[in-house]
Amino acid sequence: MQSRIPPSARTGGRPRSAAADTAILEATRQALVELGWSKLTLGDVATRAGVAKTTLYRRWAGKSELVVDAVAELFDELELPDRGSLAADIEGVVLQFAALLSRPETKTALMAVVAESTSDAPLRERIRTSIVDRQKRLVLAGRQRAQLRGELPPEPDPDAARQTADLIFDVTAGAVVHRTLVSAEPVDEDWARRFTLLLLGGLAATTQP
Amino acid sequence: MQSRIPPSARTGGRPRSAAADTAILEATRQALVELGWSKLTLGDVATRAGVAKTTLYRRWAGKSELVVDAVAELFDELELPDRGSLAADIEGVVLQFAALLSRPETKTALMAVVAESTSDAPLRERIRTSIVDRQKRLVLAGRQRAQLRGELPPEPDPDAARQTADLIFDVTAGAVVHRTLVSAEPVDEDWARRFTLLLLGGLAATTQP
Amino acid sequence: MQSRIPPSARTGGRPRSAAADTAILEATRQALVELGWSKLTLGDVATRAGVAKTTLYRRWAGKSELVVDAVAELFDELELPDRGSLAADIEGVVLQFAALLSRPETKTALMAVVAESTSDAPLRERIRTSIVDRQKRLVLAGRQRAQLRGELPPEPDPDAARQTADLIFDVTAGAVVHRTLVSAEPVDEDWARRFTLLLLGGLAATTQP
Amino acid sequence: MQSRIPPSARTGGRPRSAAADTAILEATRQALVELGWSKLTLGDVATRAGVAKTTLYRRWAGKSELVVDAVAELFDELELPDRGSLAADIEGVVLQFAALLSRPETKTALMAVVAESTSDAPLRERIRTSIVDRQKRLVLAGRQRAQLRGELPPEPDPDAARQTADLIFDVTAGAVVHRTLVSAEPVDEDWARRFTLLLLGGLAATTQP
DNA sequence: CGCTAATCGAGACGGTACGTCGGGTCTTAGG
DNA sequence: CCTAAGACCCGACGTACCGTCTCGATTAGCG
């Protein structure tokens, strides 16, 4: 799902510049790093991108939509490298996610758009599609891989499977975000190890009553 | 710790109106509910409170500081009722915290000030003192009570104790916030039960290597 | 003299649409009536005329040039009907000119382009050629006819003749314009009669010292 | 009559700066000279005056209103010096008015606001009060003085008196404006003499049937 | 009881950014 | 070469808030 305003359906006319899109999103990230969310202005982004303000407004409805797109591109990089065991995979994901969150552009932007989204349902949906689901995908892939390895039993009930995945996701993402942004302390290998221990222990308790 | 600017040290002169403080904080919460963080303006708050803008700026440095104070008052209500067992206590805290987070004024304000705080260290400190520590206190009190009950073993190493408490806190608060604000799904009794199961299971695994 | 930009000298290629010209000028007048000078936009004119903005800019340099042409067409209608006497002829011209000036499209456009022309010499020249000279012609024709009738003596000195004609022209056109646009009162038959009396009386005094 | 937006009726609050008014009007005239009407922008005027744009908009509704006030001050200078005879007085007024009209700030502004006023009745009224009536006053004063001198007979019928004064005014002001702005030729002593001759001759013809 | 001094309301002030609009240019595809 | 369509850059618009300032009018406590 895209936040961009689609071009006029009518054929004919000068097409939108693809280079402008790239320049704008890059300029947005750069401005986020230098100024932070609250001091970022669309006029400044336009100037940095070498683009007219109108061009920007023609494609995005506002600051939130633009920033979501700009940050979302960074989340595309997330992958699930095979580290050999479920525990190692989880630690890898946690560290990868933490690394992303500690970049200044994501740090300042993510909470801000989430805050904005509390009173803006379409924006919330866009965040979910562009950002959140990209992380959730990793949880599902990780479980699948662990089941192939025999580390986790197959889950016959699809409802329970989904519920558990959601819980793991909220716990993992929430913990990393909270540690990084609220507690403002680093997510290092040690923390990742201890968190993984907690998660896997809890998971065992959950599935083996 | 207070965000308020202290009154002039010099004695004599008209004292600050105490009623104004109450009115301003109440007006702030009301405006947060109606407008959300980004559309809340200090001029509007002043009008609602029946107070001049000057009065407001004489006491708070800006929007963030004011909102932190306004929301912090709500976190004073958090308590740790004795529900008889560690699991029940945790479920209680989770539900209580979730209830607070689902109020519109906290929902919209909390993430916003956290976002603001990523580039404002004093603000981050104020948030920690006024809001976060109030929750953390519950974690510590819960553990102490559980140890008194014999549900948890005493932790001889104070460093490890702090580290574990921090982890539990980040996991719990993070999970509830993420579920509520990002996943935008309710934290009901069922979820609280499943989360507690996960947490306690993980905790057992962590402390019994 | 035309304000239009001439078509490319190079032969070959698609010729300009003559229908477009008509449509554009008509649309301009219509827009002048509805919106007045300052709110008239070339984009709107293009839309009304069912024409692309490009087409419009290929033919006229700007708003002033377009409006001069659009209004000038109306001045083509001015004639000098033979009413039998100099006085009657003058009254006729005055009323005819006043009628033209009271049309909303001329009323709003004429002063505006004159204002523009104070800092735009080519525009001033175009106004003179397209609009002013068309009125001045009537003064000259009126005098010639009166001389044929014997109502006015021949003027042997061509310099003095030109000077007098200029004076009469400025007085007549100026008075009608001022009455219509500044004083905002109607130029009716009574006013025309009184003005003619004044003018002819003054003329007699001027030529018979 | 003033074009200024009156300050809030409520007492209390910081009073409006009188210096700002002076600076704004002076800056407006300066900008008119340098840029002309159509390129004058309120933002630029504000900058020149060392004033915020909002201050400007707090006091005037728009460009036209501001310019009327700025130019009107110049018309305050108009007087009727006693030159000894009616003819000499008229010539004096004509030359004085022409001198005012040939200043670049009035030249570019006057026609423009008149053009605007064709579709803006309140503006037309403001022009009349602030500018036109100041000139008309001279006509009336001139007649009164001429009657005291015995150069003109007393006019018993007040209606006819007013009608004649209006006619003289439209003719005089119109002729000077037209000569200056449309014909774009100078109003020098020679022209003033010839115009006065015409006017007085016509006047005699009008009043002595 | 009258001083003194900080507070209060009100609202104007210099700024900065907003989101929109119009001007005039350009780049398409099509005639 | 012209045309319709529409995106492009640019600059100005008028508005909204910001945080500061200047007023006159209140309030206290201290002398």
On whether the CB atoms of residues D98 and D176 are closer than 8 A, the answer is yes
User: Which residues in chain B have their CB less than 8 angstroms from residue A206's CB?
Assistant: 194, 197-198, 201
- Distances in Å between the alpha carbon of D4 and those of C195, D8, D13? 37, 12, 19
User: Which residues in chain A have their CB less than 8 angstroms from residue B169's CB?
Assistant: 183
Closest CA to B6 of B56, B55, B46, B59: B59
pLDDT of residue B7: 86
| Rg of chain B over all Cα atoms, to the nearest angstrom | 20
On whether the CB atoms of residues D155 and D162 are closer than 8 A, the answer is no
Does the distance separating the beta carbons of A173 and B114 come in below 8 Å? no
Residue nearest to nucleotide E7 (CA to C1'): B14
Mean pLDDT of chain D: 93
Helix (H, G, I), strand (E, B) or coil at C94: helix
Residue nearest to nucleotide F7 (CA to C1'): A14
pLDDT of residue A207: 76
Nucleotide nearest to C23 (CA to C1'): F3
pLDDT of residue C7: 82
DSSP letter, residue C1: -
Which residue reads 């009035």 in tokens? D106
Handedness of CA C8, C13, C18, C23 (dihedral sign): negative
Low-confidence ranges of chain D (pLDDT < 70): 1, 208-209
Q: Which of residues 17-56 of A touch strand F (CB under 7 A)?
A: 17, 20, 50-55
Q: Is the pLDDT of residue C177 over 90?
A: yes
User: Which residues in chain D have their CB less than 8 angstroms from residue C116's CB?
Assistant: 37-38
pLDDT tens per residue across span C26-52: 999 999 999 999 999 999 999 999 999
Handedness of CA D112, D113, D115, D119 (dihedral sign): positive
Determine the Cα–Cα distance for residues C157 and B45; give it in Å rounded to an integer: 82
Which residue reads 């071009």 in tokens? A7
Of how many residues is chain A composed? 209
Please give the residue of chain D at the shortest CA–CA distance from C160.
Answer: D194
Determine the Cα–Cα distance for residues D76 and D57; give it in Å rounded to an integer: 24
Q: For every one of its 209 residues, what pLDDT tens digit does chain A have, with 9 covering 90 and above?
A: 578 899 877 777 899 999 999 999 999 999 999 999 999 999 999 999 999 999 999 999 999 999 999 999 999 989 998 999 999 999 999 999 999 999 999 999 999 999 999 999 999 999 999 999 989 999 999 999 999 999 999 989 999 999 999 999 999 999 999 999 999 999 999 999 999 999 999 999 887 65
Shortest distance, CA C175 to any CA of chain D (angstroms): 4
Q: Between residues 51 and 90 of chain A, which touch chain B (CB distance below 8 Å)?
A: none
Distance between first and last Cα of chain B: 40
Nucleotides of F under 7 A from a protein CB: 1-30
Determine the Cα–Cα distance for residues C69 and C89; give it in Å rounded to an integer: 28
Mean pLDDT of chain B: 93
Chain C partners (3+ C-beta pairs within 8 A)? D
On whether the CB atoms of residues D156 and D165 are closer than 8 A, the answer is no
Tokens of D31: 């900008």
Whether any strand F atom is under 7 angstroms from the Cβ of D43: the reply reads yes
Q: Which of residues 144-183 of B touch strand F (CB under 7 A)?
A: none
For residue D189, give every residue at least 6 positions away whose Cβ sits within 8 Å of its Cβ, in sequence order, or none: D91, D95
Query: What's the angle, vertex CA D204, arms to CA C85 and CA D81, rounded to 5?
Result: 135
Nucleotides of E under 7 A from a protein CB: 4-31
On whether the CB atoms of residues C43 and C52 are closer than 8 A, the answer is no
pLDDT tens per residue across span B114-155: 999 999 999 999 999 999 998 999 999 999 999 999 999 998
Between CA B194 and C1' E15 the distance (Å) reads: 54
On whether the CB atoms of residues A39 and A101 are closer than 8 A, the answer is no
